[in-house]
Structures are given as C-alpha cells and as structure tokens.
Amino acid sequence: MRKLLLVSLAAFCIPMLVFAGPKSDKKTTKKKKGKTEAVTPPADPKKTEYDKLIEGMKRQEGMLCAYTKEGKLLLELGSEAFKHDYLLATRLAETSNTGVGVAGQMQCEPLCFYFSTDSINVYIHQRQLVFAVPEGDPVLPSFHKNFTNPVVAAFKVKSKYQGNLTIDVTDFFTTDQRIISPIHDGIRKSYSFAPDASIIKGVKLFPSNMEVRTQMNLRNNQNGQCITLMLNRSILQLPDTLMEQRFQDNRVGYFHSFRNLFDTQEDKVTTYNFIHRWRLEPKDREAYFRGELVEPIKPIVFYVDTAFPQKWRETIIQGILDWNTAFEAAGFKNAVQAKMYPNDPNFDPDDMRYSCVKYATYAIPNAMGPSYVDPRSGEILTADVIWYHNVIQLVHNWRFVQTGAVDKRVRANVFPDDVMCESLRYVISHEIGHTLGLLHNMGASHSYPVEKLRDPAFTQKYGTTPSIMDYARNNYVAQPGDFEKGVRLTPPILGVYDIYAINWGYRLIPGNKTPKEQSKVLAKWIEEKAGDPMYQFGLQQMGIIEDPTAQTEDLGNDPIKAGDYGISNLKIVYKNLEDWMGVKGDTYQDLKDYFASIVGQYSNYLGHTLGYVGGVVYTYNRVGEKDGVRVFVPKSQQSASMKWVVSQLREANNWLIIPEKIIRFGFDLNGADGLIQGGAATLYDARRLQRIYEGGVVDAKNNYTLTSYLDDVYRTIFQSTIAGQALNYTEMKMQAAAIEALATNAGFIQPPMGGLRIGLADSFYSEKWRCCCSAASEEQSATMRMPVIPPLNQKLLQSSSFGQLQKILQLYKANSSVGNQESRDFYRFQIQYIERLMKK
C-alpha cells in the first residue's frame, strides 16, 4: 500500500526564517528539575518592546517558552514550535459540582492542532484527519484546496524578538472557547460563563508537554448559584515519527479511528479503520522475532492514587499487572507496570506524562477508562482510569444478589476484605483493558454452555466468561452446593479472548510489511480461531437489543435455562433477605436497596430472553463464508422465549411483587405495574416487529411471519380470556398494556414521551455500571455501533395493529359476561375504550 499523506498546510505557513532562541544573559535564573524559571529584573531605560512586554513576568522553558504574571500567560514561539503537531486535552482537576464531571475526567474530545504564522498573527489550525490522499496521487492539489485545516484561534503577535514571536494566550484559556469547553449542553442550558472569576492559576513546562491550570466559573441564569471548575489544559507535543497503523477488523474489538481515502487507483472513495494501541517496541528486535520474551523500550506505567484505602491497594496494582500475561503472549515481558503515587512534590497526576488510576469520591457507581490517542496514527499516548467511590456498593450488591444463595460469605453488609478484593480486581482489570484499546466484548459469555457454569473444572479454568471486557459479573447459574464442590463464582483473571486480542493488536509482524499486507496475516490469526466461540467478538449494543448473543449482564448460551437457575437463586435470596441483611433498629433503606437490586437482576433475566424475540445475530462473516452478515433467530426459539417471558410476568406476583413486602420496604405498587406492563408492551415494539417482518419475508417456514407472531402473542397474553377464565390483576395489567401498545402502533394515541417503552421497567432499580471508556469523536463513534434496524413501515404497522385490536375487541365482547365481577368490569371498560379509539 502506498504511503498516505495526511494534508498539512503548516509547511506553507511557517516563516522562512532561521530563529535563534531568546537570550537570557540579562536574567537571573533558577533551575528546577525538568524546567528553568527566571524572573526578569527591571529593564534599563533603553528597554525594547520585548523587554516591556515581559517586564516582571516569570519565565519558564520546556516544550515552549512561557511568561506568567497575575493570571496572564504569554507564549514565546521559536522556529521549532511551528514544526510539530500538538494535542490539547481538557480535564477536570477540581469541581464544586459533580454534575459537570469528576476530578480527572476528560471533558471534551482532545484537539489536534499546529501553529502557523504570517508574522502578523499566530494561528492555531485544527488538523483535518478524516480525509486523506495517498502520497503522489494526482488529485493531491485539488485535495489541498478542498480540505484545508481550519483556523480555530488567532493571536496578534505582540513582539518579534531575535526571530521569536510572542503572543498573549490568556483569553484562549480563560474564556469559554467552545472547541475546548468543559461545559456540556445539559449544564449550558442553565448556566452561563462568568468571566469575573475565571483566571489562569498556574503553568508548568516540561520537555514534551505544557500544563495550564485554569479556574472557570459558571453562574446559574435563574438563581445566581455558581459552579467553580479547576481545569487542567494539557498541550502535548505529538511524535514526529508516526507509529505504524494497524488496520481494524470488526471480528476483534478495538477502539479505532477511520479515514476516507481519495485514491485514483480505486473506483470509489475508500474507507479504512485503524486501531488504538500503545507503541510497544522491543529493546532487542532480533531476540523478539526469534520468539523470546523481550522488554519494551517504553513500558506502559500506571500510577495508583494514594486515596485508595490500604486494604485495596495491592488488589488494584495486581489487577493492572494481570495484563502482563496477555502481553507475554504478544512477545513482551514486563510491558505493564504499576506504582503508587510517589511521595514527590514534583509529581502531578494531572501532568499529561503520567497514566493514572484516580479515585473520585462520587455517589454514582461507575468507573471509566479513557485514553488519549494520537489521532494521526492511533497511538495511545497516555490514559487514566477514573474510579468512582460508589462502585463499591454496586459490586457488593451484585455479588450478594447473584451468589448469595450459594456463598455464605457474601451474606453481609460489609464483605470480608478477600471477597471484596476478588470483585475489585475484575473492575480494575476491565478498565485497564479499555486503556489498552479494547472495546467491550458483550458476546463473550454467550460462548459457554449453561451447564458448564456448574462444572468445577471448567469454571476454575475459564470463570464466567472468556473475556473480562464483557459484562459477565458473577456466576448466578451456580446452585446451592456448587460452591462447596469447587465451582468458581467470579470472572477469570484474564479470559482467553483477552489474551488473544492483545496478541492480535500488539504482536509485531516481521518482514517490513505495509499495514495492508499485515492485515492478511492478522486475518489468518482470526481464521485460525473461527471454529471456537470463545474467540468471537460481540459489539456492545446501545439501548435497543437486536443481537441476543451480545447482551450485557448475561451468562451462557441459553437464556431460559440460565434465567431459571438465576430466578431459583433469587427466590432464596429474597426469602431470606431480612434475616441475612436486616439489622435490628436500622431503617429499611438498606433492605430497600437490596430489594431494588433483586428486581433489577430479575429484569435482566427477562431482558436476556426477550432479546431473542425478533432477534438478529450479527456474524461478521466475509463473502464466501456460511450465512450472511445478519441471521434471524428461528421461530421456535423466538416463540419459546416470548412464552417464557410472559409466564414469568404472570408468576412475578406470586414470589417477587408481593404487595405487603413492597409497602413494608417503602415502595408503592406503581413500580410493580411498570415491570409487568413494560414487559408486555415491549413485545409490540415497532423495531422488534420490523425484524420479525424481515425474517418472515426471508424464510416464512423457519422464521416468524408478522401475522403468525402477532397471533402467537395474542394467544399467549390473552390465554385466560380465550379459555373463559377469570382474570387476576396481573392478567389485567398485561392485557391493558398490550392494548395500549397496539393503539399506539395503530396511530390512535400518541406514544409516551421518548417513544414506546422497549425495555423492562426500572422503577425499583436504576444504578448500573455502564463504564464510559473512551472519548471519541462523532465520526469515530459511528464506526463502533451496530446498525440499528428502523421501525416497521408505518402503514403496515398501523394495519396489523388495527387487525389485532379488532380481534381483541371481538374476544372481549364474547366474554363480557364471563368470569368474576372484576373481569367483567375490565372487559366492558376495554370494549368502550377500543371502540372510542376506533371512532376518532
């Protein structure tokens, strides 16, 4: 493949001058580690314009030269400054309102830029990287004219001294510049930038980066309340020699960037993706290619916040170092290192040179692993893990609810340290995986047969999933007595997929092959594992579940069997909840939280099975392989899944949604109604119906047709009425929800805010670990999403729903005098309701 040229106009803008560095022989200097500081003495009467400009200011030298005084920041740029690309990242260092973000969090997509000048102004150009042209292609002149790098900021040259240009960048860092603004749209609706309290608080210069600490104030437009943010703006000089790109393959999950390529050797604009990874290079290349383990020239080093309690520190460090097993498979020894924050006043976790695991005292249970990437090559330059304090409660409740029936150790409001550390090790390893470039692999756990999760030998070797990048938390399939037999209840230290994925992304390929040539080798590595489901990748789905084999929080390849095991355990936990977890004299708040977690877990089980109704499996197959890209779940599996979900909704009132217990805990019954009604309504979701319709068109024999599906749902939800039996309140809730959903689809009533409910109710349970793992541009994010199937064609949706409503209306009329009084009243009301809708 020909070498690509990413357009750069810097060459046309750099002044054709040989700049000398600024003289400092008239200044009193102080040297500190990594930088030089100086304070200019009062200038003589013959002082120059430059002398006047910097009078009384503190000078620092490093990547650039900076002058500071009383919140003012000047930059002095020599010729070298115009020869490089830079990355500007905005992170929170401190905040008075965690609604904006938490300390250490990346606030916006980093800006890739370079400087240019016309000697009147200095300009910051955002580098355009989405489009490219191969070097030497005849369309290159046209490309330069149509894809220039836009100017995002301009600064008047204040001084030209000995060939160096001095500019004032104070306003750029102290005003609300949208391109580097930390304020998201939700905050911006209520708060405005308050310039009176926004100021530069400090500047640090290092050989390859510059750190600017800025205070920003926001004021509420209505009540005058303020938010104060301490921001750390990092400017990092990007490598002059780009790391070699490695092309992405959607059969292995890596964060990636993409390019649109104008290449006259092709009959179209081509697109390719390249993965994000660290630049690991062996100290001894010959030994590396002989198959020996070799240390990298520059290892990946993480510094761990000393805010972590002493009892967890060893676990956090171990969870980081666990990844060395994977890098050894890729030929690297001691590739990952972990250290506590050093007791050194010069160490700053906001310094862009350091990758850190930062502790955030924040009530939301979460963790995230963002990385900072050279967008020109995909090289990960540095990374952070943000550890939210209340992730502790989340992993505690998961472990109790999912394994409390089989493991006596977790029947406690405070776990023993060794039990908690088992769970925390998984959390930190998962987030470190993201900082290494790995996406979530939500399809991993589907590779295990459910019964294997009760096998001591299997689970000790493989845990709950072949990838810790999955959301497969604890072994809820294991039954009482299994733990004593040796069944493992937690994920593996690293899964076999994780080791395989690191080898795929990081192992160097000999022979000086181009990225395109290397892709052929990488494809062979994938093909070698094609027959083993443990090595398959399942992309995370956002919101709407289309592929049931790539879901969150699930275990095994049979959701009904796994759900039956899980619900059996939930019944034990719920029955014993007050005895195990209640503390005499305490409020009911803790028990209320545990009950909410039980309901949430139950909802997960229903959702896992519900995903197979209208499910489509994405195979990532290539041309010539068996099946296509999309394969429909067969009718038999969809039917069994739909009927199991409805049967569970009927059963919920018999063991879970017990009114006297719900009221006792302090809930009302609306949440119970939402669980049952939401479960019934989602069976009529328009997107689900579109997938079912498509499956019937493709293969009416083995797949549901739209009509056969709707009739099957009708017979299942309305079976008591069809049989002439009296309805209980659960039956009434489900039937009413079905009518409401059909009336919405038919266009008789407006859908609820946000559209028809497509998931199970979360009235009791809302907090989940949904780690935010990388800041990515809109263009990058688009390449990481599974295609979303649109809703069913409106006319077809309306007509089919209208037909179902008519069928229900006739059924109710035929049974209006059947059953108990409550049933008869329900039928008569629904008859009037449906007829009134149809007359509109």
pLDDT by residue (tens digit) across 271-294? Answer: 999 999 999 999 999 999 999 999
Kindly write down the DSSP assignment for every residue of 222-256, as one continuous string. TT--EEEEEEEEEEEEPPSSPPPP-B--TTS-B-E
Confidence check: pLDDT of 5 > 60: no
Q: Are strands 131-134 and 256-262 parallel, antiparallel or unpaired?
A: parallel
Residue 1: which pLDDT band, with cuts at 50, 70 and 90? Answer: very low
- Output the average pLDDT for the chain: 89
Higher confidence at residue 765 or residue 420?
A: 420
C-alpha to C-alpha distance for 526 and 523, rounded to whole angstroms: 5
Instruction: Say what the pLDDT of residue 786 is.
Output: 60
Residue 14 has pLDDT above 50, yes or no: no
Question: Where do we find the tokens 């955002």?
Answer: 126
CB 762 within 8 A of CB 600: yes
Local confidence band at 189 (pLDDT 50, 70, 90 cut-offs): confident
Yes or no: say if 688 and 547 are a contact pair by the CB < 8 Å rule. Answer: no
Each residue's pLDDT tens digit, 158-175: 999 999 999 999 999 999
Q: Is 658 exposed, middle or buried (0-12, 13-18, 19+ CB in 10 A)?
A: middle
pLDDT at 48 over 70: yes
Q: To the nearest 10°, the Cα dihedral for 248, 252, 255, 261?
A: 20
Task: Indicate the range of 37-41, 136-140, 514-518 predicted with least confidence.
Answer: 37-41
CB atoms closer than 10 angstroms to residue 603: 22
DSSP state of 441: -
The stretch 47-55 carries a mean pLDDT of 88
The tally of CA atoms less than 13 A away on the side-chain side of residue 659 is 5
pLDDT of residue 420: 95
Of the candidate ranges 250-254, 353-357, 623-627, the one whose mean pLDDT is the lowest: 623-627
pTM of the model: 0.89
Q: What pLDDT score was predicted for residue 148?
A: 93
**212-226, 736-750, 772-786, range with the lowest pLDDT:** 772-786
Instruction: State yes or no: pLDDT of 657 exceeds 60.
Output: yes
> 132 forms bridges with which residues in the sheet?
261
Q: Report pLDDT digits (tens) over 247-275.
A: 999 999 999 999 999 988 888 899 999 99
Q: Is 582 helix (H, G, I), strand (E, B) or coil?
A: coil
Average pLDDT, integer, range 453-471: 97
Average pLDDT over residues 203-218: 94
**Residue 267: its pLDDT value, please?**
86
In this structure, the dihedral spanned by the alpha carbons of residues 141, 145, 147 and 148, taken in order and rounded to 10 degrees, is: 110
Confidence of residue 237 (pLDDT cuts 50, 70, 90): very high
The answer, yes or no, to whether residue 689 has pLDDT greater than 70, is: yes
Does position 557 have pLDDT exceeding 70, yes or no?
yes
Segment 801-823 shows an average pLDDT of 95
* Paired residues of 77 in beta bridges: 165
Average pLDDT over residues 623-641: 88
Q: What is the average per-residue pLDDT within 795-809?
A: 96
Q: pLDDT digits over 22-39, tens only?
A: 334 444 444 444 455 555
Residue type present at position 225: Q
649-654 long-range contacts (CB < 8 A, ≥24 apart) are 649/606, 649/675, 649/676, 649/679, 649/680, 649/730, 649/734, 650/730, 650/731, 650/734, 652/602, 652/676, 652/730, 653/728, 653/729, 653/730
Burial (CB count <10 Å: 0-12, 13-18, 19+), residue 619 = middle
Residue 630 has a CB neighbour count (10 Å cut-off) of 18
User: How far is the C-alpha of 765 from the C-alpha of 369, rounded, in Å?
Assistant: 25
Q: Is the pLDDT of residue 812 over 90?
A: yes
Distant-in-sequence, close-in-space partners of 608: CB < 8 Å, separation ≥ 6: 548, 551, 553, 554, 559, 562, 563
pLDDT of residue 17: 30
* Least confident stretch, 199-203, 349-353, 520-524, 688-692: 349-353
Give the pLDDT of residue 313: 96
Q: How far is CA 250 from the centre of its chain?
A: 17
Cα dihedral 58, 62, 63, 69 in deg (nearest 10): -10
Of 236-240, 435-439, 591-595, 619-623, the range with the lowest mean pLDDT is 619-623
For 663-687, b where at least 16 C-beta lie within 10 A, e where not — what string? eebebeeebbbbbbbbbbbbbbbbb
- Would you state the pLDDT for residue 45? 55
* pLDDT of 755 strictly over 70: no
φ, ψ for residue 92, nearest 5 deg: -80, 130
The closest of 202, 222, 484 to 350, measured between CA atoms, is 202
DSSP 8-class letter at 830: H
Percent of the chain with pLDDT over 70: 90
Please report the pLDDT score of residue 534 as a whole number. 97
State which amino acid sits at residue 331.
Answer: G
CA 500 to chain centre: 21
pLDDT band at 757 (very low <50, low <70, confident <90, very high): very low
Query: For position 512, what pLDDT does the model report?
Result: 87
Q: Are 522 and 501 in contact (CB under 8 A)?
A: no
Within 8 A by CB and 6+ apart from 309, the residues are none
Average pLDDT of span 470-479: 96
Q: What is the C-alpha separation between 643 and 633, in angstroms, rounded?
A: 15
562-579 residue pLDDT tens: 999 999 999 999 999 999
Nearest to 676 by CA among 652, 656, 700, 705: 652
Q: What is the DSSP letter of 645?
A: H
Q: How far is CA 683 from CA 500, 547, 607, 711, in A?
A: 38, 16, 11, 12
The yes-or-no verdict on residue 15 having pLDDT over 60 is: no
Residue 698: pLDDT over 90: yes
Q: What is the predicted pLDDT for the residue at 751?
A: 78
